[in-house]
Structure 1
């Protein structure tokens, strides 16, 4: 069995079985792309993609369970023991349409022709079943030199698919590599073609970059190149000096909301605008809302003087009632990573965690008094006032001023009603 130091043993074993099955059928087969690259630089290997001279139809005949996930581009997913493996036929690509899609894909039998169409030399290394490497573009040398260099002429590669420029930035950021001079010059010359790339494809690359070890390195490249000039925010060097940007690399990659919130705050995007912006980048509605809420909570807490415990606690309680307990927990985690090393900041995080634990109720249904009970007790018709009264009861219980018992709530309700009437008379 071919030795893989950085891949899951079962995944490596099953993928080798696929290679050997293809070879037994008379075809050439190899591992190619990211799995080979990551193994060579000592990074965890995830997807073990396979390339072969067999056509999709020939692949399907050799394996019991297959899924035609991208058959028009030559990709068949082979499933063994519930583990999927992408098997793609060697191919060449004709002229590209709108700097995004090839007009035509032609299947070929030659591995060399297949490697010739790939984006960067570090991704154009193949590994055969005997463990030997096929590396016609000296990708191993570039891995050692820590260089991002295109396969062949960089301008041709970037004209074929403009997204390759952003992929290069992502690779350079995640691996801490530098750009080979002519490849970077080609990026600067053709960066305007990014306007043709769909927001979803851009978002996927940005997600991977922001999840890397040094996202600020990639952001600096975006600022230096102005590669995303057509996006909704300006990726400029000014934002690199923002305190939040300086702390971005210290945040964990998961949960992803932490880094995205810090990034948007560094770019001066307020919480009320964050959700719409992230949706325009094709993030899911739930993720966009989660990031927006995180920024909103941070904004609310930052408006309060840290020495004013009563107001801080009230603000925290209101954030729980407005956005939910889990969102406030996420904010505490966020601030715990971003906080300065001063005792005051550390005390605030500890105090906020304690206050959160003390909150006994956070939704109207948790109250020992229902809306119907309130209407009956005050003998009034339901209206907008009811929501206000419920909210005030919730805040009182959450702050520990009133016990969540029916008798206590009814007494507090009388005071709320009296104060409400007094306010109306003014």
Structure 2
């Protein structure tokens, strides 16, 4: 796929050049090629005006015509094709008040970082570097083009992008650029939640998540974008269970242990699983620290954080459930079979198991509990029929039950018996329900057991 994209991007440049226009690959694709990495997309810059680009390519979207930006669709793939331009008079920390078409050199100098300011002519095989990007690639550093504070004032998101590129590429940051990021860090709050979220997702990709956290700290951005995580610093834990140190150090170590191919939500589960600890910390008479109910408080905090950053609802729900349930796994071997199976059948279970594994390995605990959980999960996978309840409300309606709490309680009991291997198929479940209804066990306040004792009235 990537080689196909390169071939298509080459043909776009060739077509533009054939009509007398300058045309280059620009930005991240050039940087990645110089680093020996495979680009995921290709952007082009050209002397052609938007209307000339539109005339050359039948499928063309004017996504930013006023800025000279068009998207060319070739063989079903989008390629951004932008006219060389300069920008000035930024009034809102993102949008320029004035845009003028310009030369390729001027276009390079308006970009954010030198490593993103490289141009490459794929037709001639010629690299063009007007900003010192190749030297910074050799030195493995992120450096702003021109005065750093001016670049960051133009678009405040660049503050976060500087940290993200340093983390992704495992580069250092040029001192003046780092100083400017630190000085202007509070300005990141002016950037829309969606743009911040998208940068953070890239920064906390499993392959670079630990470096991402380190760079947010080093750039003094962590408290600006994730204050709940920043608050973990200095929150000391009981050394009996957490000899590694405070909660933030615990998180750092878990991020370092992330597999590069992990679920993209796993770094977020790591970051957020203990954010309820600072507001819940207590110290008993013996001087031991406790964090009672931190998972419940943390789940509420995670919900608020995900809403603030405009996470997709499905992602938010999974992360909230991970935080709420992560302590349950430590008691797995004491659970009833049905309770454990309910836990492992939830959509978030695979993510929670990985979170539990990281939690154990980074605190010096053995993996016996994790291995027990994995064995239980493998047993469930060998019994796919357990994934779905034997009965639904429709089945009970067909037996003459009325909708209401009693029906819900009876369905839960059937499900419990199914997960406990006491009911194995539809017929067994229906026969059991019929018997319960005949005994009147589903009509009272406690249909789960007709012979159970009633609680005394208070």
CA–CA distance in 1 between the matches of 2:371 and 2:336? 12
Contact kept? 2:353, 2:370, Cα under 8 Å: no
| Cα distance change on mapping 1:112 and 1:343 into 2, 3 Å | closer
Whether 1:164 aligns to 2:158 is yes
Shift of residue 160, structure 1, vs aligned partner:
1.0
Indicate the SS of the match to 1:419. coil
Bigger share in helix: 1
Contact kept? 2:207, 2:259, Cα under 8 Å: no
Whether 1:400 aligns to 2:393 is no
Question: Which of 447, 451, 455 is matched with 1:417 structurally?
Answer: 447
Question: Which of 370, 387, 401 is matched with 2:395 structurally?
Answer: 370
| Cα distance change on mapping 1:325 and 1:234 into 2, 3 Å | closer
| Cα distance change on mapping 1:155 and 1:398 into 2, 3 Å | same
| Cα distance change on mapping 1:125 and 1:289 into 2, 3 Å | same
Question: Which segments of 5 or more consecutive residues in structure 1 lack a partner in the other structure?
Answer: 1-6
Q: Deviation string for 1:37-61 (max 9, x for gaps)? A: 0011112211110000111101111
Shift of residue 360, structure 1, vs aligned partner:
3.6
Q: Deviation string for 1:260-298 (max 9, x for gaps)? A: 111111534723432332121011111111222233332
Aligned length: 408
| Cα distance change on mapping 1:146 and 1:420 into 2, 3 Å | farther
Shift of residue 351, structure 1, vs aligned partner:
2.8
Contact kept? 2:274, 2:298, Cα under 8 Å: no
Q: Deviation string for 1:11-33 (max 9, x for gaps)? A: 21221111111111111110000
Shift of residue 233, structure 1, vs aligned partner:
2.5
Query: Which stretch of the first structure deviates more once superposed, 344-353 or 283-292?
Result: 344-353
| Cα distance change on mapping 1:34 and 1:46 into 2, 3 Å | same
CA–CA distance in 2 between the matches of 1:266 and 1:175? 28
Residue number in structure 2 paired with 1:137: 131
Contact kept? 2:142, 2:172, Cα under 8 Å: yes
Indicate the SS of the match to 1:326. coil
CA–CA distance in 1 between the matches of 2:360 and 2:46? 51
Give the CA RMSD over aligned residues.
Answer: 2.7
Whether 1:25 aligns to 2:19 is yes
Whether 1:290 aligns to 2:283 is no
Residue number in structure 1 paired with 2:281: none
Query: Which stretch of the first structure deviates more once superposed, 413-422 or 10-19?
Result: 413-422
Question: Which of 303, 327, 337 is matched with 1:313 structurally?
Answer: 337
Question: Which segments of 5 or more consecutive residues in structure 2 lack a partner in the other structure?
Answer: 235-245, 277-296
Contact kept? 2:206, 2:264, Cα under 8 Å: no
Query: Which stretch of the first structure deviates more once superposed, 290-299 or 214-223?
Result: 290-299
Q: Could you state the TM-score of these two structures normalised by the residue count of structure 1?
A: 0.87
Question: Which of 258, 267, 272 is matched with 1:259 structurally?
Answer: 267
Residue number in structure 1 paired with 2:283: none
Runs of 4 or more consecutive aligned structure 1 residues displaced over 6 Å after TM superposition? none
| Cα distance change on mapping 1:231 and 1:421 into 2, 3 Å | farther
